[in-house]
Amino acid sequence: MCKANFYDRAEVIDTATKMVRRGVVLCVLCGGLFSIHGCYPRHIRDENDDRHDGWIVQCCCDNCKKYPSLIPEFIMPYKHYETAVIEAAVAKVEAEGGILLADCPAAGSTVWRWVSQFRERGALAVGWLLAILHTLYGEYLSALELVDQGLLNQLARLARKFPSPGSGSIIGRVNVILTRHNTGFL
């Protein structure tokens, strides 16, 4: 689902229905097929702190009867800012060791919470991606290729090895990969 579809409820449901029918999205818990259950409103904030109201599709797994939401890669679960805004803040902290709060529309405490969460979950995600890469695809990535790189660069390097969306943010791509393999999200 792309950002342009996010605003149109009918288009969001139509796109999700097509994805479900083609088997593009399956239940990460049991591999079961989905039925579209409904749609609920969701808002996000962009780099200018402008609010955008849109829609998220909720599915029902025909097998295990769970009700997951199909969250697009430009939105992080439980976050109000776009993934690109969060990623830019994290990248700035990784590159410079600090952040000018004027560069980000979110409050300073929010940015530091993002960074703290990213450091914790990012390290786990590197391990998860390495394990998935080896277990499912039989590929290895030398630890030397990841040494002395920030977490964001490590994740970018690993994400390129997966057959996943090639566009969007690094965090968004990693979240898609991790969710597909039922290992969590950043």
Type of residue at 80: H
The pLDDT value recorded for residue 166 is: 61
Least Cα distance to 150 among 184, 122, 109 occurs for 122
Least confident of 73-77, 98-102, 140-144: 98-102
Domain that holds residue 64: 5-70
Tell me the CA distances in angstroms from 173 to 98, 125, 133, 180, one per residue in order. Answer: 25, 12, 15, 11
CB proximity list for 144: less than 8 A, separation 6 or greater: none
User: Amino acid identity of 179?
Assistant: T
Q: Report whether pLDDT(2) > 80.
A: no
User: If you average pLDDT over residues 59-64, what whole number do you get?
Assistant: 94
Q: In DSSP terms, which residues pair with 51 in a beta bridge?
A: 45
> Is pLDDT at 4 greater than 80 in this prediction?
no
**What global pTM score does this model have?**
0.85
* Number of folded domains that form the chain: 2
**124 lies in the same domain as 51:** no
The predicted structure's pLDDT at residue 165: 62
Whole-angstrom CA distances from 125 to 48, 88, 138, 163 are 29, 18, 18, 17
> Do the Cβ atoms of 57 and 39 come closer than 8 Å?
yes
Residue 137, classified by CB atoms within 10 Å of its CB into exposed (0-12), middle (13-18) or buried (19+), is exposed
Residues 15 and 45 in one domain: yes
Tokens of 47: 């780099």
Q: Give residue 82's pLDDT band: very low, low, confident or very high (50, 70, 90).
A: very high
* Overall residue count recorded for the chain in this entry: 186
- Please indicate, yes or no, whether residues 41 and 89 belong to a single structural domain of this protein: no
In a domain, 186, yes or no: no
Q: Is residue 185 part of a domain?
A: no
Most confidently predicted of 15-19, 28-32, 102-106, 166-170: 15-19
Reported as half-sphere exposure (CB side, CA atoms, 13 A), residue 84 has a value of: 11
State whether 122 and 55 are in the same domain. no
- Shared domain for 57 and 92, answered yes or no, is no
Regarding whether 65 and 92 lie in a shared domain, the answer is no
